[in-house]
């Protein structure tokens, strides 16, 4: 196997390069089945992180894993981002945290899967972190079943009200606080 290119931090200045308008609006506009997943990203002192970048990837509502192009569709004349086409479900979202360390994702519930995949980048983080935001606490899920109850709880979003889920990410903390992050080898 060829040795991989090492990771480096995303740094503080990605804000004018990576985020794009509508990056968190994965659900087609006006879709009646849309859900909101939101929360805060915290550091080891419990302070919100205003310079984190979150990426989301998930199955389509039909359970497909193929996605679709067009997440950052651009106007060929002006180069401006013109948003998703409102028909295809691309499955991909990208949201920078705001000055409060808060993010909001509007998407459709993943089909045949209890979770949305999450990748976390931040200034100060030399290598991104993967996790899963579970919308349901599935008893059969292999990963959840393998975790101690206090660790497992960090992966399950709280249903705040109909169609609104809260999923906070803690980069560092005690075992009942710090989010479970995944190593895919």
Partner 1 sequence: MTASIERAPAVPAPEAQADIDREMAELKRAAAGKPALLHPARDYAPYRSSALRYPKNPLVVVRDPEAVELSGPVFGVTDTTELDSDLTRQHQGEPLGERITVAGRVLDRQGRPVRGQLVEIWQANASGRYAHLRDQHPAPLDPNFTGVGRCLTDDEGRYQFTTIKPGAYPWRNHLNAWRPAHIHFSLFGTAFTQRLVTQMYFPNDPLFAFDPIYQSITDDKARERLIATYNHDLSSPEWSLGYRWDIVLDGPSATWMEEGR
- Report DSSP letters for 41-76, one per residue: EE-TTS-B-TTEEEEEE---TTS-----S-TT-B-T
Nearer to partner 1, 50 or 164 (CB): 50
Number of chain positions touching partner 1 (CB under 8 A): 75
Q: Is 149 in the site for partner 1 (CB under 8 A)?
A: no
Q: Which of residues 47-66 bind partner 1 (CB under 8 A)?
A: 47, 49, 55, 57-59, 65-66
Query: Could you give the CA distance from residue 80 to residue 65 in angstroms, rounded to a whole number?
Result: 28
Other C-beta atoms closer than 10 Å to the C-beta of 108 total 19
- Report DSSP letters for 113-154, one per residue: -SEEEEEEEETT-SS-EEEEEESS--TT-HHHHTS-HHHHGG
Both structure tokens of 143: 């990963």
Part of the chain binding partner 1 (CB under 8 A), chosen from 28-36, 98-106, 156-164, 171-179: 171-179
C-alpha dist (Å) from residue 139 to 4, 108, 124, 145: 36, 22, 35, 7
Q: Is 73 in the site for partner 1 (CB under 8 A)?
A: yes
Part of the chain binding partner 1 (CB under 8 A), chosen from 31-39, 96-104, 122-130, 160-168: 122-130
Shortest CA distance to 73 belongs to which of 37, 25, 35? 25
**Which residue is listed with tokens 């401006």?**
80
Q: Is 104 in the site for partner 1 (CB under 8 A)?
A: no
Nearer to partner 1, 13 or 32 (CB): 13
From 22, 36, 43, 48, residue interacting with partner 1 (rule: CB under 8 A)? 43
From 68, 104, 153, 164, residue interacting with partner 1 (rule: CB under 8 A)? 68
Q: Is 117 in the site for partner 1 (CB under 8 A)?
A: yes
From 15, 33, 62, 158, residue interacting with partner 1 (rule: CB under 8 A)? 15
For residue 52, the cross-strand partners are 122
- Residue 161 Cβ vs partner 1, minimum distance, rounded to whole Å: 26
- Residue 157 Cβ vs partner 1, minimum distance, rounded to whole Å: 17
Q: Is 70 in the site for partner 1 (CB under 8 A)?
A: yes
């Amino acid at each position: 196997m060829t040795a991989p290119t090492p990771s480096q931090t995303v740094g503080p200045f990605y804000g004018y390069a990576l985020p794009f308008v509508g990056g968190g609006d994965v659900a087609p506009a006006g879709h009646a089945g849309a859900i909101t997943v939101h929360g805060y990203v915290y550091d080891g002192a419990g302070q919100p992180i205003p310079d984190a970048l979150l990426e989301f990837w998930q199955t389509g509502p039909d359970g497909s894993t193929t996605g679709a192009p067009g997440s950052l569709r651009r106007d060929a004349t002006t180069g401006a981002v013109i948003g998703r086409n409102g028909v295809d479900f691309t499955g991909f979202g990208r949201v920078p945290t705001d000055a409060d360390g808060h993010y909001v994702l509007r998407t459709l519930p993943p089909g045949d899967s209890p979770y949305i995949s999450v990748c976390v980048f931040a200034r100060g983080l030399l290598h991104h972190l993967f996790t899963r935001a579970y919308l349901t606490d599935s008893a059969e899920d292999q990963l959840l079943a393998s975790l101690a109850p206090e660790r497992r709880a960090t992966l399950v979003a709280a249903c705040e009200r109909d169609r609104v889920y809260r999923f906070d990410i803690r980069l560092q903390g005690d075992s009942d606080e710090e989010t479970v992050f995944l190593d895919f080898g």
